[in-house]
Structure 1
């Protein structure tokens, strides 16, 4: 199919509408959306229509727009710089377009590319920074899709960054009058801590970092990187937060554990250095002290480091220990939460962690502590009408069963073991607490797996929605539910 001739391509343009008249013809919901986009531009907005949508009526009553309560006449455009035809009457829209053409006024006709002489693009706004997307009117859904993708790529810190650079524009030009030198300085500035500080709402520190950048000679060897502790969630890349995705695409170095799925790692920047520092029960690939040292080493060398952890960094992820090491070394850091295993595995197994009829509280428990699992408060854990979520418990299922029953939990209390929760290979094994070790052995349950104990676990039998139905004692499950 031939390409669109160059002469037919739209020319992108940002218009300064301050104190200039913009006429919107139409008083319905579509017109209201166009007016909303114009608010804040400083334009004199005139809305012409016999009646107004409630939202427009509020704006007119507040004096934010002027209302012409009549049918369209060409004279409305005599003082206009821009007009928008937003009615559901094709004849009126054509009349607006013709009146604009006669007066050399740019006219946008909503959903009519043939009549429109100017198009209003899909936009991403971050403070003074605006990104406009247009398909030339031929594929507005494509433009919307691109906008949605850009919305996830550019967070609010870009607006704060644009505002800061705008405030100091003259200082920047005076410091680096040569264009090439200014470009190199900008690259150093944006690779430093400035945007991270703005993202963390540390605006005073950001101003200081900017001032320091203006005094550097371009050969500083003291610049440091920063570290982000990022929760990778349970494994499904669709559950990764937008902030986590951005950081993965900015990272120079990624230190990832064994619970960070390959699907999540595939979303990272392609040329980032990846370092596997996975730890599982009985297989400590990298001691924690060495992980801390690696984080400090790479950040001190000026690199942007992501410490990617399965689930959430602060839920049995030793994130606190890593932050202490970074703090001691004077390394800047941030934390991006992830969906922890208890929430994710329960949801993907169809198990509500709380339920008015069954459980009013949830306890997150690790069966693998620094000393031993015997330090757990078993009498409290054995109480009824609560949900227990055991992390890293596959190797200690016999102890869990024995201690809970010994301290008063009923042997027929439902349980569910969720193996590889949220991933394509997810399996759920469910049954009664008394049979927990036997069923786990029967179905060869392997880590990573989360153990859920409590009345809510019985609901997995009828509320499951992801993957295969639960394995185990189906009859006991149905009775408990």
Structure 2
């Protein structure tokens, strides 16, 4: 390790910046973000400060003259970026008086280097390669960015605000450490990371005996929680970063039958995996039983994930589950997922809205004919409305009959999109009149039905109706 990572308080003095162009301005923006006071000698005389916040400009001195003759009193570091040959001379001057100096892309004349930085407020991560490969450092930084919660700095700040008070109430260091571990890893930390700091603050205030709270973890009384996670339509790469973190943190995963093995493999290896969903036409354990399992897991101290296909709040019964958790006094959070309708639209290039053609979207579910018969189809006849039907394969004849009887044109474009975003995804397109026959063109579900003129813009429609696609393009051009 050639360079020791250190964090320098740039508010303790002035930073001398020498250089010009985009390189110097990039360093200027970075220094301004730390609250540093900067004296900038522009090598080309161009002090362009576009992009610098007005509040930061007051701390930037646009210096004139020769930087080699500049007064170094109060200066704590010298930076050279885009400075040309003057950078070497500035390095010699800095070393002569014992000041840290960085000459960009010149290790021989630098006594410190700039790392790739992950900035989360009070949490800062610096990644360096000893100057050998800034690109590698950036790639490592990107990986860390993906792993760290966006509000991890808020959590550090939250703890900082309470630390003095709690330390005064817990004298033993090991017990104090366990207290903060339990806060960070438990429901209070989850509240902060979810942006609900006021609730976290109230929860911490309710802890009457911090020592007992800390000791409870050692006695096996850890406090559990439930996270409802949207698994998306099937492609594991469509999981959100937050969903991945929840899966990696889970002790037990309660998952729908349709959640793919590839997604389940993203969970922590030693986490229990329990299938609780059901497929159409097959029995399941029932919603009340699922609610009970979630509550029991949390109350036993486990971190449970309820992993749902698509999004928890779009035909996923997520609302029912959080209501049960709320009534049971169980801590919970919700992580949205990409719903299957959006996955189908993206994969098969079927825009659900389209200027002048489709101005409204309706999502509905009908997994059996009796469901379809209860729908008021008269509100779905607007030609400028796209109708997205979940679990509609069995009820397809009733869906067609209901829309036609209500007045929707039999020539309305329709798409049946099966197993969307997965390697075996299929599509069949045609008209509303042909809807039941389209189901015979795919090898089973699950499938999304999209009904509306937007289907005529989809890739499968263009491939099967090239002349119509060309005509539509010409109409749009006119």
TM over 0.5: yes
**3-state SS, counterpart of residue 394 of structure 2:** helix
With over 3 angstroms needed to count, the CA separation of the structure-2 counterparts of 1:216 and 1:378, relative to structure 1, is same
> Relative to structure 2, which stretch is displaced further, 58-67 or 110-119?
58-67
Query: How do 1:281-320 and structure 2 match up within 5 A?
Result: 281-320=280-319
- Note if contact 2:426-2:442 (Cα within 8 Å) is conserved in structure 1: no
Q: 1:112 aligns with which of 106, 109, 123?
A: 106
Partner Cα separation in structure 1 for residue 55 and residue 263 of structure 2: 50
- The answer for the alignment partner of 2:118 in structure 1 is 124
Partner Cα separation in structure 1 for residue 408 and residue 33 of structure 2: 62
1:38 has 2:31 as partner: yes
- The answer for the alignment partner of 2:21 in structure 1 is 28
1:80 has 2:79 as partner: no
**3-state SS, counterpart of residue 146 of structure 1:** helix
**3-state SS, counterpart of residue 55 of structure 1:** coil
- Note if contact 2:117-2:125 (Cα within 8 Å) is conserved in structure 1: yes
Q: 1:182 aligns with which of 163, 176, 192?
A: 176
1:54 has 2:53 as partner: no
With over 3 angstroms needed to count, the CA separation of the structure-2 counterparts of 1:74 and 1:424, relative to structure 1, is farther
Q: 1:456 aligns with which of 454, 457, 461?
A: 454
Partner Cα separation in structure 2 for residue 307 and residue 342 of structure 1: 21
With over 3 angstroms needed to count, the CA separation of the structure-2 counterparts of 1:384 and 1:208, relative to structure 1, is closer
Q: CA RMSD in A?
A: 2.6
> Relative to structure 2, which stretch is displaced further, 321-330 or 375-384?
375-384
- The answer for the alignment partner of 1:265 in structure 2 is 264
**3-state SS, counterpart of residue 254 of structure 2:** strand
With over 3 angstroms needed to count, the CA separation of the structure-2 counterparts of 1:278 and 1:72, relative to structure 1, is same
Unmatched tracts of structure 2, length 5 or more: 473-478
**3-state SS, counterpart of residue 278 of structure 1:** coil
1:12 has 2:5 as partner: yes
What do residues 19-64 of structure 1 show as CA deviations (whole Å, max 9, x unaligned)? 3121111243222222222225453311112221232887699422
What do residues 411-458 of structure 1 show as CA deviations (whole Å, max 9, x unaligned)? 2221111111111111111112222212322x2441111011111112
How many residues align? The count is 465
Unmatched tracts of structure 1, length 5 or more: 1-5
Query: How do 1:259-408 and structure 2 match up within 5 A?
Result: 259-368=258-367, 372-408=371-407
TM-score (ref. length: structure 1): 0.89
With over 3 angstroms needed to count, the CA separation of the structure-2 counterparts of 1:463 and 1:18, relative to structure 1, is farther
With over 3 angstroms needed to count, the CA separation of the structure-2 counterparts of 1:255 and 1:179, relative to structure 1, is same
TM-score (ref. length: structure 2): 0.90
- Note if contact 2:369-2:394 (Cα within 8 Å) is conserved in structure 1: no
State the shift of 1:369 in Å.
7.3
